Amino acid sequence: MASSLWDDLKKTLLDGVNTAADKTEEYTRIGKIKVDLLNLNRKLDQTYKALGREVYVRVSDGKRIDAHNDDGISYFIEKINHITAAITKNEKAIVDIREQARRTAEAAQKKRTPPAGRNAAPASGGTPESGKKPAAEKKPAPAEKKSAVGKPAGKTSSAKKPAAGRKTATSGKKAPVRSSGDKRGKQN
């Protein structure tokens, strides 16, 4: 019995460590791809700017532009197409990594879950061998009532105490004046 408990604990801990390692690997791979995506998007913006600059220079010189036959402009168009294809490829790689991680996690979960049978523990908390009924589920605690101001009812506010010699708003009486040697009520 005791060795079974230790074996179960060991297996659970190893499963947790393996899951953490898998997640770390997944997030590392996705992080690297996202950095590549940032760089590709930056290159794409720079290429669009360069294309716009090239078109502006040619139009401002009064030249007519034929985008398909102009080598300068077709170069930028090809470069933009190449960069957008790389962006699409990286975005698909992220989706594939996440899907692979999901399938791996599902397979690991199926491996950990004991088959439904005589020795399997019911989901409600009792054990088949003990013959005990599962404990009743607890009801959630009632929500705290709030006053008209929006603060929890029955709670005192943390308003500052009035300065010595000044009247308080609630009682109209003056607060007691303490001498410098009086340490009562002060906290260090």
d(CA 96, CA 105): 14
Q: In sequence order, which residues have a C-beta less than 8 Å from that of residue 68 and are 6 or more positions away? A: 74
- For the stretch 70-108, pLDDT in tens is 888 889 999 999 999 999 999 999 999 999 989 988 887
The pTM of the whole model exceeds 0.85: no
Q: What pLDDT does residue 160 have?
A: 56
Domain ranges of the chain: 11-112
State what percent of residues in the chain have pLDDT above 90: 29
How buried is 83 (Cβ within 10 angstroms: 0-12 exposed, 13-18 middle, 19+ buried)?
buried
CA dist 14 and 8 (Å) reads 10
Separation between Cα atoms, residue 80 and residue 46, nearest integer Å:
10
**Dihedral angle over CA of 78, 82, 84, 87, nearest 10:** -170
CA–CA gap between residue 99 and residue 46 (Å, rounded): 33
**What local confidence, expressed as pLDDT, does residue 139 receive?**
60
Q: Which pLDDT score is estimated for 171? A: 57
Question: What pLDDT does residue 72 have?
Answer: 83
Please write the tens of the pLDDT for every residue from 138-176.
565 655 555 555 555 555 555 555 555 555 555 566 666
Per residue in 16-46, pLDDT (tens digit) is: 888 888 889 999 999 999 999 999 999 999 9
Residues 6+ apart with CB under 8 A from 83: 40, 43, 44, 47
pLDDT higher than 70, residue 178: no
Query: Looking at the predicted structure, is the pLDDT value of residue 126 above 50?
Result: no
